[in-house]
Amino acid sequence: MSLIKTSSTYISVISVWFLPWTVMAQPAAIAMPDIYSAQTAKQILMQGGNAVDAAVASAFVLAVTYPEAGNLGGGGFLTLFEPNKQSNNATHEPNQGKSYFLDYREKAPLAAFRDLYLDSNKAVVPYRSLVGYQASGVPGTVRGMWKVHQRFGHLPWKRLLSSAIQLAKQGFVVSEPLAQRAIWYQQWIIDKSPIPLNYTAYFADLKTNSIFKQPELAKTLTLIAEQGADAFYTGKIAQQIVKQMQKPESMADKGLITLADLKGYQAIWRQPVQGQWQGRTIVSAPPPSSGGIAIIQLLKMKSLLEESHKPSWLKAEANLPEQAFKAHVYAELEKRVYADRAFYLGDPDFIDVPIKQLISETYLTSRIKGVLLDNISDTESLKPGKLESPETTHFSIIDSQGMAVSNTYTLNMPFGSGVVIEGAGFLMNDEMDDFSTKPGVANVFGVVGGKANEIAPSKRMLSSMSPTIVLKGGQVEMVVGTPGGSTIITSVFQAIVNVVESGMSAQQAVDAPRVHHQLLPVNQIAYNPELSDATKAALELMGYHLKHNSYMGDVQLIANINGHWQAASDKRGQGVSEVFSLD
Ligand code: GLY
């Protein structure tokens, strides 16, 4: 419960003079991907829960109401900012708080090996890393939620699962987009697996405006509420997962996950990757995500380029439609970043990732050398620099004490591997496709990988998920993130630039057209929504191939703009956002 009400000047003044150790209360804000998670997050905050409580409760709700990405059978990342409760006695200014990052990404099962998805001719077996029993990594979500709650949660664990249990038991109203995605997936997997999968038996009833109940999932959530994460990793649910993995008759189709895999799974606290940009600290996802490094590289390279090439920047800007110039500059920077991603990035528990160098000014200054402002620089010769899903879901929360959570988690493809754990009622992920199954061969998002991200037992697959917090003056300025596979990085980058440099409101920043270039296919810029004819013509004249992406993220952004909190959910999705006082 907050001690101070933002609306009361009187109490605020008292707090400054008599309660100098107390963090000034502020409005709370949420930006959530659906109405059910938004209602739950708000309710928890209104009941005195903190941002972590709201995040945990919402993550379990999304496992019910957003089955294409919300999950128990997947994994993700959570970036957290905890304000320092002690103010500086001399200045009465709050001290800087501390940032944390929780990695609850899936891990390759112990039985996995480098050539798991290759046939005897070393050719990739189509869809095996994406559909069916062998596509799943060891899930991390339940352990992750447990771990963050153990350290930072305030309300009792059991209470945080009650909304999810109720929604699974009593059902929720299916939205049209969810029903459409469910039909799409049902048709998509039909010819992708050599054996029948049970997805349809569980999710065929996702019909627009119908009430969808999930009694098995309600039982699973109740077990987790009563017994904690161990129910999932060593208890009854672990047994159910392993039993399901063994269902296919042929060894070639059986799943790899064992009781030892589940028992051994740990979520890990890591140092978030942090970079300075425009008087701010960008706090984001470190490896095994590529997101934080890539976003900091993009932001810093943009500033370095603008400063060091001022005359040619201004000339090229004047010669092109505004959106076309932006798209070209972003493309030039992005292809360099994706080249680095493919070469240097992977699980830091297995390889050394040169994080500091990759985001250093020296390296990035050398990296922008080949950028052309009025033409496309060569892609074929673009190598990693020399050093001296699409479906996922994201939410952003800040509580009245300034604690912020930026959380992105996923099954990878919508509805994951198409395998439901019978009796437990949840879908398994198909995250194994995020490994580089064969160097140089693109994954479902079209990004290529190399040795750093090859499969090994217990290794985490490289991700693009980028839950990000922007700090200014040691306090939270933005909480931001999005789904969208490899486009996550470029969407978060553009949302931050839109607020800081283009002076947009939070809503404008998330709704603005976005462009995306990921090195390959050569000279291809993807965009969403429509670009103007002039923009398209200018980019095509330069030699770009333009591709309209029907899906390009669902950004959830909270931002403090000129001292006022704003929360915005991308118009591309069905999110709900709100700023509210706890009065
Ligand atoms: N599965 C998408 C990602 O982790 O980036």
Q: How many angstroms separate the CA atoms of 126 and 293, rounded? A: 31
Q: Is 392 assigned a catalytic role?
A: yes
- Would the CB of 485 count as within 6 Å of ligand 1? yes
Residue 143: phi and psi, rounded to 5, are -65, -40
Atom of ligand 1 nearest to the CA of 445: 2
Domains of the chain: 271-391+467-580 (3.60.20.40)
Q: What is the pLDDT of residue 85?
A: 73
Digit-coded pLDDT (tens) for 156-170: 999 999 999 999 999
pLDDT at 185: 95
Q: Of all residues in the chain, what percent carry a pLDDT higher than 90?
A: 86
DSSP characters for 405-421?
EEEEEEEESTTTTS-EE
Long-range contacts of 227-232 (CB under 8 A, 24+ apart): 228/146, 228/157, 229/142, 229/143, 229/145, 229/146, 229/147, 232/72, 232/139, 232/142, 232/143, 232/262
Nearest residue (by CA) to ligand 1, atom 4, is: 463
pLDDT digits (tens, 9 = 90+) for 426-448: 999 999 999 988 877 777 767 77
The Cα–Cα gap between 45 and 403 comes to: 11
Residue 561, pLDDT > 70, answer yes
- The structure's pTM equals 0.93
* CA 105 from centroid of its chain's CA atoms: 11
pLDDT of residue 439: 75
- Ligand 1 close to Cβ of residue 466 (< 6 A): no
Whole-angstrom distance, CA of residue 391 vs CA of residue 399: 27
Mean pLDDT for 520-525 is 90
pLDDT tier, 380 (very low <50, low <70, confident <90, very high otherwise): low
With tokens 């990878």, the residue in question is: 412
Torsion angles phi and psi, residue 273, rounded to 5: -80, 135
Atom of ligand 1 nearest to the CA of 462: 4
Q: What is the pLDDT of residue 583?
A: 79
pLDDT of the residue at 30: 98
Band (378; pLDDT cuts 50, 70, 90): confident
On whether the CB atoms of residues 136 and 129 are closer than 8 A, the answer is: no
Residues 525-561 as b or e (16 or more Cβ within 10 Å = b): bbbbeebeeebbebbeebebebeebebbbbbbbbbbb
| Distance between CA atoms of residues 434 and 548, nearest Å | 23
Exposure b/e, 41-72, CB count within 10 A at least 16 = b: bbebbeeebbbbbbbbbbbbbbbbbbbbbbbb
353 within 8 A of 447, measured Cβ to Cβ: no
The CB of 410 under 6 Å from ligand 1? The reply is yes
pLDDT mean across residues, the chain: 92
pLDDT in tens, 345-369: 999 999 999 999 999 999 999 999 9
pLDDT of residue 92 exceeding 70, the answer is no
| Tokens found for residue 274 | 């942090």
Choose, from 40, 258, 281, 392, the residue flagged as catalytic. 392
